[in-house]
Structure 1
Amino acid sequence: MLVVDIETTGLDTEKCSILSIGALCLEQINNTFYGECKIWDGADIYEEGLAINGFTKENIKDSKKQNEGELIFKFLKWLDQFDNKIIAGQHPMALDIPILKSACKRANIDYKFSHKTIDLHSLAYGYFLNKGIQIPLKEDGTSDISLDYIAKYFDLGEEPKPHNALNGAKYEAECFGQIIYNKKLGII
């Protein structure tokens, strides 16, 4: 299982750009990937997104950085070493997988990920129900199980701000380790 986190210029997977990708193999926790890229011309940029991930407008347009297609190509090359290419993360089907698909399309690269993923939120929801822990809800009645909530529950603290895709992947992996293996992996 590959734990993946992606930082972007916003949540619209067709109009926003990848800024960074962080990943690690849960079975080989020291085997990590991290890369950043400049945004593609015309990508939408949302101030709220930059405030969360800490990238600046100057940083995301840095001509010295690789482009999004080059980053995707390197990420896919890193993935080639693994037999198990199942992507895991906090809501991977909401942002990570769709933006990877869009980035591959923009770069004319064949998308080779499965539509099957492992969602940390879903595993944590089941874990909490099994332990008799009340599920935190937002005002609209939907789940409020965030990565920070899960990490705090397992005494991992909050993910450092600003966000970093590799730190995000490591925090997610630690939470997966607690739920799946009932132990801390020691990577954060």
Structure 2
Amino acid sequence: MSLLNWLKPCRAPLSAAQLRRREQLRAAAPLSDGPLNEQRLVVLDLETSGLNTNKDLVLSIGAVVIEHGAIDLGQQFECTLQRAAQPHNQSVLIHGLGPSAIAAGCEPAEGLLACMEFIGASPVLGFHAPFDQRMLGRALKTSLNYPLQHPFIDLADLAPLLYPDAGIHKGGLDAWLKHCGLQIAERHNAGADALVTAELALMLFSRARRQGLDSLSQLSQRLVSWQRRQQLQRL
């Protein structure tokens, strides 16, 4: 199978049961003004076939819930999506998902429905979240004809806002984990990355509360103002 054929989206029709599940998915909730400790948040991480948001595919999904100000280990989600074949490229060396693992995954529509059922109405957190948002949104459109409307919060933006003296303005997840003293057993595994990203989020929220920011809407508004100032300083 050629790379071009592998990249073509699967448009298998949804079953009646899948259509019912799609219709029952919860609408996204807006960012809340309530205290962070009262929110249910979903931390998401994706492993993909590459970094091209127009062509590459979601291969695995990992997610964990933050609720009542703590990581709820009873609410975790992880799945690998079935793909007919996977091209051998640099991404395979990073995430370690070889052809056998991909072929043994769950059918994409099933995995994506389960993912959205897990997320529910909750806002989504991620590190470099815009990438995950675009990749997940395209996967949902391709497999389910479903629009992703959940707000995504990017911890890669929040971290330098809350730790301005860290000197890590364009750093990746590894740099922030090191700065915050966090460790991960298996990097580039969707489930493990989601869990450690949730740990980072809790540290950022603790820091935010000490700065008088105790809601998602406050954090979002402060981030927009901070980013505008950063842009003006570069002019």
Q: TM-score range by the shorter chain?
A: 0.7 to 0.9
Match of 2:62 in 1: 22
Q: How many residues align?
A: 163
- Report matched runs for 1:34-73 at 5 Å: 34-39=78-83, 45=87, 47-60=89-102, 62=103, 64-73=104-113
Moved more, 2-11 or 45-54: 45-54
Letter aligned with residue 99 of structure 2: K
Match of 1:101 in 2: 137
* Correspondence for 1:156 among 182, 187, 195: 182
Letter aligned with residue 140 of structure 2: C
Question: Matched residues, percent identical?
Answer: 25
Provide the secondary structure at the position in 1 that maps to 2:115: helix
Match of 1:79 in 2: 119
Match of 1:186 in 2: none
* Correspondence for 1:88 among 125, 133, 139: 125
The 8 Å contact of residues 137 and 147 in structure 2, kept in 1 or not, is answered as yes
Match of 1:173 in 2: 198
C-alpha root-mean-square deviation of aligned residues, in Å?
Answer: 2.0
The 8 Å contact of residues 140 and 148 in structure 2, kept in 1 or not, is answered as no
Provide the secondary structure at the position in 2 that maps to 1:74: helix
CA distance in 1, matches of 2:185, 2:126: 14
The 8 Å contact of residues 8 and 19 in structure 1, kept in 2 or not, is answered as yes
TM-score, with structure 2 as normaliser: 0.63
User: Deviation string for 1:63-118 (max 9, x for gaps)?
Assistant: x43222221011112223xx4x211111111x21111111111113312432x321
The 8 Å contact of residues 22 and 33 in structure 1, kept in 2 or not, is answered as yes
CA distance in 2, matches of 1:87, 1:111: 15
CA distance in 2, matches of 1:107, 1:134: 41
Ranges in structure 1 where 5+ consecutive residues have no aligned partner: 136-142, 183-188
Q: Which of the pair has more CA radius of gyration?
A: 2
User: Deviation string for 1:1-48 (max 9, x for gaps)?
Assistant: 21100001111223222111111111152211111112267x7x4611
Match of 1:138 in 2: none
User: Deviation string for 1:109-152 (max 9, x for gaps)?
Assistant: 312432x32111111111221xx3323xxxxxxx4311111111
Mapped pair 1:117 → 2:152: yes
Name the CA shift for 1:123/1:46 in 2 (closer, same or farther; >3 Å): farther
CA distance in 1, matches of 2:170, 2:184: 15
